[in-house]
Amino acid sequence: SQELEQSPQSLIVQEGKNLTINCTSSKTLYGLYWYKQKYGEGLIFLMMLQKGGEEKSHEKITAKLDEKKQQSSLHITASQPSHAGIYLCGADIGSGNTGKLIFGQGTTLQVKP
Amino acid sequence: GAVVSQHPSRVICKSGTSVKIECRSLDFQATTMFWYRQFPKQSLMLMATSNEGSKATYEQGVEKDKFLINHASLTLSTLTVTSAHPEDSSFYICSAYGTGGGLFFGSGTQLSVL
């Protein structure tokens, strides 16, 4: 079965600093999703990557999928307190786009003002 | 944009009672819906896959007689936690996969069993 490993598990950064969260899969990724969450609340969709080498950006957040499609990274530039939360990567289990996701264990981000 | 409505957002019930959670796609048809559970400080765990008009497919370790899933239409799936116990207290969240290929999550339901 496919497994996703996220690192680090938790992160505390000073406001204004850059940070990177990694998501590594035991199998080829056919669809990789990044979400932000506060526990007990819904998921906020950030980005979805499918192609090897693909990179997407939204505001100060950039996500990349490596060429081999087994690792993705999420990079936040000039972090702000509003970036605090739990970041989850999710991988589509199917060989195509099925919507059936497994998730990494999450990365808890704190941003100190 | 596409919206998935999940109700209730929060429910408190007594041990032994049953609780129904609804997941509804508001402006699109969902060929498949998924149900996840999340315990405190843990990630989302897939419980089951729900297809309209057919029986749900449960993940290993999930009791199908305890977590009843009904997918009566292309816009509605329900999860019923039967004879709920305190260990069933958790955050439950659904997602809907649209016929156009989009994936959207509900806002989740916090279940507390006393």
- Residue range A81-102: mean pLDDT, rounded: 89
- By the 8 A CB rule, do B107 and B8 touch? no
Mean pLDDT taken over chain B: 93
Count how many residues are written for chain A.
113
Assess whether pLDDT exceeds 80 at residue A6: yes
C-alpha dihedral, A79 to A46 to B56 to B91, nearest 10°: 30
Give me the helices (H) in B16-81, please.
none
* Cα–Cα separations (whole angstroms), residue B104 to A44, B13, B23, B113: 10, 28, 11, 27
Name which of A15-19, A98-102, B19-23, B46-50 the model is least confident about.
A98-102
Angle in degrees, CA B31, A44, A90, rounded to 5:
65
Is the Cβ pair B101, A97 closer than 8 Å? Answer: yes
Mean pLDDT taken over chain A: 92
Judge whether B49 is closer than 8 Å to chain A, CB to CB.
yes
- By the 8 A CB rule, do B49 and B41 touch? no
Measured between alpha carbons, how far is A108 from A86 in angstroms, rounded to an integer? Answer: 4
Judge whether A47 is closer than 8 Å to chain B, CB to CB.
no
Judge whether A85 is closer than 8 Å to chain B, CB to CB.
no
Assess whether pLDDT exceeds 90 at residue A80: yes
Is the Cβ pair B93, A43 closer than 8 Å? Answer: yes
Q: Which pLDDT score is estimated for A95?
A: 67
Is the Cβ pair A40, B105 closer than 8 Å? Answer: no
- By the 8 A CB rule, do B23 and B4 touch? yes
Measured between alpha carbons, how far is A64 from B29 in angstroms, rounded to an integer? Answer: 30
- Tell me the chain A residues in contact with residue B97 when contact means C-beta distances shorter than 8 Å: 98-100
**Closest chain B residue by Cα to residue A104:** B43
Q: State the smallest CA–CA distance between residue B106 and chain A in angstroms.
A: 7
Structural tokens at position B78: 């329900």
Q: How confident is the model at residue B105 (pLDDT cuts 50, 70, 90)?
A: very high
Assess whether pLDDT exceeds 80 at residue A96: no
- Tell me the chain A residues in contact with residue B59 when contact means C-beta distances shorter than 8 Å: none
- Tell me the chain A residues in contact with residue B46 when contact means C-beta distances shorter than 8 Å: 100-102
Is the Cβ pair B34, A101 closer than 8 Å? Answer: yes
